[in-house]
Structure formats: structure tokens, C-alpha cells
Amino acid sequence: MSDLAEGVARFQRDVFPAKARLFGHLASHHAPHTLFIGCSDARVVPELITGSEPGALFVVRTAGNLVPAHAQSADGVAASVEYAVAALGVSRVVVCGHSACGAMTALAEGHDLDATPAVAGWLRHADVSRARTLAPGDVPALVRQNVAAQLTNLATHPSVARALARNALTLHGWVYDIGTGHVEELATAGAPIAA
């Protein structure tokens, strides 16, 4: 725990004073421009990858950057999407997959998930992605197909569908390569996914 406490001390000593004006503004204003849906993986840090200041991104992180299709029963992902789009009025949504994704690797390689039933249940939201990936074990292809499938799921959410119909929102699919820092844009709005 001391490493986290030391990090907080560094933040309070070095970072906060340098950005005190920004944080003062953010204390009463919340107007992010982008909803960033990424993986929970600790190696994927949306603000770092995009060079964004605090307040610019509304971030949702889930294992495998999964977005369940809209359903009558609300969940945390659906509530966050709705809030970002309908209440905050973000103008962009990015769904960002990444290299070496543990969730996609488990699916591509058929790992036994019996010991983690909640994970196994959650990863069923990637069934379409897995079905569309031609070569078994091809993690990079599954990562890309998964980004496309999650964009499709995202468009089933009523707030997203309404914003898309008004041309008030664009959807973007990205894949971030951890080893190189490269970000590949796979799809925008209704554009087809790259091969």
C-alpha cells in the first residue's frame, strides 16, 4: 500500500499544483468530449494513450472491452453509455481493443474458464466475434473482430441510436499495440472493419 500512498503524495506535491486551475474548473464542470470504452487491462491507460487531460474522456473499462447489446435490464456498462451520450453529450465513442488481450487470448485459445465462471459468462458477449474469426487461435484477428462486434452492440443502445440518427455522435474502433504504442483505426461510424 505504501507505493500507492507515495503516488498520492507525488500527485499532491507535483501534479496537482501544476494543474490547480484545471482541477478548479473541473470541480464544477463535467463535459468530456469522448466516451472511451477500453479493456480493464492495466497496460491500457486511455488518458496516456490519447494524451488527454483530466475531464476530456469519460472512460468505461471492461474485461475484453465488451459492450453488451441493449437489454431491458440495466447494467453498469449500459448506464455509463447512456449517461455519457444522453446526459453529457459526448460527440465520439471509441471502442479500443489491444494486443495481447487476456480475454481474447482465452477465447481464441479455448482456455478452461471453469474456475472463473463470472469471467466465462461475461466473455459470452464476444461469441459473435469468435464466430466471425476464421482462424482458430488468431488472437489479433479476434481482437479486431471483437472491436467491430462491440461497435455493433453499442449501436443497439437507444441513446446511441438516437444520437447517431441526429449525426450528433460518431463511433470509432481502435486497436492499441502495447509493444509499439501504435493505434490502428479499424472502423468509423458505419464504415467496414479493416481486413
From the candidates 10, 25, 30, 43, give the one annotated as an active-site residue: 43
Determine contact, residues 84/58, Cβ cutoff 8 Å: yes
What the block records as the C-alpha cell of 57 is: 474522456
Amino acid identity, position 107 = L
Contacts of 154 (CB under 8 A, 6+ apart): 37, 67, 81, 93, 95, 160, 171
**Annotation says 92 is catalytic:** no
**Annotation says 96 is catalytic:** no
From the candidates 39, 61, 125, 157, give the one annotated as an active-site residue: 39
From the candidates 98, 130, 144, 157, give the one annotated as an active-site residue: 98
From the candidates 70, 96, 101, 125, give the one annotated as an active-site residue: 101
Number of Cβ within 10 Å of residue 6's Cβ equals 10
Amino acid identity, position 123 = L
What the block records as the C-alpha cell of 135 is: 482462424
Residues carrying an active site annotation? 39, 41, 43, 98, 101
